[in-house]
Amino acid sequence: KPISNHMPTAELQALDAAHHMHPFTAGAELGAKGARVITQASGVTLTDSEGNRILDAMAGLWCVNIGYGREELAEAASRQMKQLPYYNTFFQTTHVPAIALAARLAELAPGDLNHVFFAGSGSEANDTNIRLVRHYWAAKGKPEKKVIISRWNAYHGSTMGGASLGGMKGMHAQGGLPIPDIAYIDQPHWYAEGGDMSPEEFGLERARQLEAKIAELGEDKVAAFIAEPVQGAGGVIIPPETYWPEIQRICDAHDILLIADEVICGFGRTGNWFGSQTMNIRPHIMTIAKGLSSGYAPIGGSLVCDEVAEVIAAGEFAHGYTYSGHPVCAAVALENLRIIEEEKIIEHVREVAAPYMAEKWAALADHPLVGEARIVGLMGSLALTPDKGARAKFASEAGTVGLHCRDRCFANNLIMRHVGDRMIIAPPLVIQPADIDILFERAVKSLDETF
């Protein structure tokens, strides 16, 4: 019999456990509990196979910026699939969806980020970036300038390149990472690592680690620095105000390319089109994905400045993916960008949703379990603590309390994620004040029920 939404949940879960390997999931846990089967979604709300309505405060994986159920995107995909479902952009051919999306992105991007190299995901785009920056310096006669500096606890994807750029030690431990010529500095995570320093002092100290690392490696060996404007998967870590201006100064002073990984921050999440605008930085390259299509179709890319693109274009860049600039994904992304602009979704974030969420978030700081509540635009975090005053950690293994809180949220029909003992949100950008009230109510209930 066909497998469908009409099957009993237990049967679907059994088939899922038997055949489907889930990313970032402990198999044993899944086998015992079974995964929740999501059957449909609209706006900010998911429905599961038992009819529960769940508020998705993570926009899927930080990607469904315009919310679920927008038929215009389905229609754009259908139209494009009928007209030209696939053609490549290798070997002197192109097509209108790729041209139109590249031109639109060049318009939206700040500065002279006028060129796009398309990929199928954020990870692939970051792999492109590794090859792009190394090839750029080699083409300029500096093949030794190839080290890319990143940060511990950064997330830049799951491919060998992406996970090497990322600074997740748990990922490095599985599968022989990182690849050569990647170096790391510490993250600007004041709450966890700031000790007695003020956030401002700490921001400068962490930024200056970049200068120290460049000095250690030699300026002629360092190609680029990569960072998310606001770390997402690491736990929504909003850097102190002193951090980014100092990083920008150091990159400028030492002839280092700056890569802003905008996979989460891009397309409205922080209240501007790009997180780089919120943090006032001028990257040479931006990684984009997720909100580019609001997750309706898999597409990512690298937005590249004039100087880098010109050097790359002087020869052949021996790199590309079958799905670079996929016409259906590009058509979906264009429709998504049209909706963000015409429905003034970023203005909605800035003027309505983020200020209201910030009020609620500040109220959560009073909860006995919350040591810190931070939010920028519509990405926020709560640090759970046994002792509010002291920024203390729990005696239990890191993440146990966060996991429990996440499970309570799940049981209360709220999707929030935990990163260790931090709770994080990044809801669809179209979230309305009435949804935020529900989110807040369920979050408080879940926190109250946590141990």
Tell me which residues touch ligand PLP (CB under 6 A): 61, 121-123, 126, 155-157, 162, 228, 232-233, 261, 263-264, 287, 289, 300
Q: Which is nearer to ligand PLP, 190 or 321 (CB)?
A: 321
- Give the nearer residue to ligand PLP in terms of CB position, either 121 or 276: 121
The nearer residue to ligand PLP, 156 or 417, going by C-beta atoms, is: 156
Give ∠ CA 400-404-405 in degrees, rounded to 5: 120
Minimum CB distance to ligand PLP, residue 121 (Å): 3
Could you tell me the sign of the dihedral formed by the alpha carbons of 308, 311, 316, 318, in that order?
negative
CB 155, min distance to ligand PLP, A? 5
- Tokens representing 227 are 């960072």
Q: Which is nearer to ligand PLP, 211 or 228 (CB)?
A: 228
Report cis status (omega within 30 of 0) of the bond before 245.
Answer: no
| Residue nearest ligand PLP, CB atom distance | 122
Contacts (Cβ under 8 Å, ≥6 apart) of 390: none
In angstroms, what is the minimal distance from the CB of 238 to ligand PLP?
14
CB of 165 to ligand PLP, least distance (A): 8
Amino acid at 437: D
Specify the residue, 73 or 125, whose C-beta has the smaller distance to ligand PLP: 125
Q: What angle do CA 229, 201, 263 make, to 5 degrees?
A: 5
Toward ligand PLP, which CB reaches closer, 23 or 180?
A: 23
Query: Measured from the CB of residue 195, what is the shortest distance to ligand PLP in angstroms?
Result: 27
The residue (of 123 and 446) whose beta carbon lies closer to ligand PLP is 123
Place of tokens 């769940």: 54
Q: What is the dihedral of CA 261, 265, 267, 270, to 10 degrees?
A: -150
Closer by beta carbon to ligand PLP, 61 or else 204 = 61
Q: Side-chain half-sphere of 332: how many Cα atoms within 13 Å? A: 27
For the bound state, the minimum distance from the C-beta of residue 202 to ligand PLP, rounded and expressed in Å, comes to: 22
In angstroms, give the least distance from the CB of 169 to ligand PLP: 17
Give every CB contact of residue 114 below 8 A, 6+ residues apart in sequence.
106, 304, 305, 306, 309
Closest separation in Å from C-beta 68 to ligand PLP: 18
Nearer to ligand PLP, 126 or 150 (CB): 126
Residue closer to ligand PLP (CB basis): 135 or 156: 156
Q: How far is the CB of 2 from ligand PLP (least distance, A)?
A: 30
Find the shortest distance in angstroms from Cβ 310 to ligand PLP.
26
Work out the widest C-alpha separation in the chain, in whole angstroms: 65
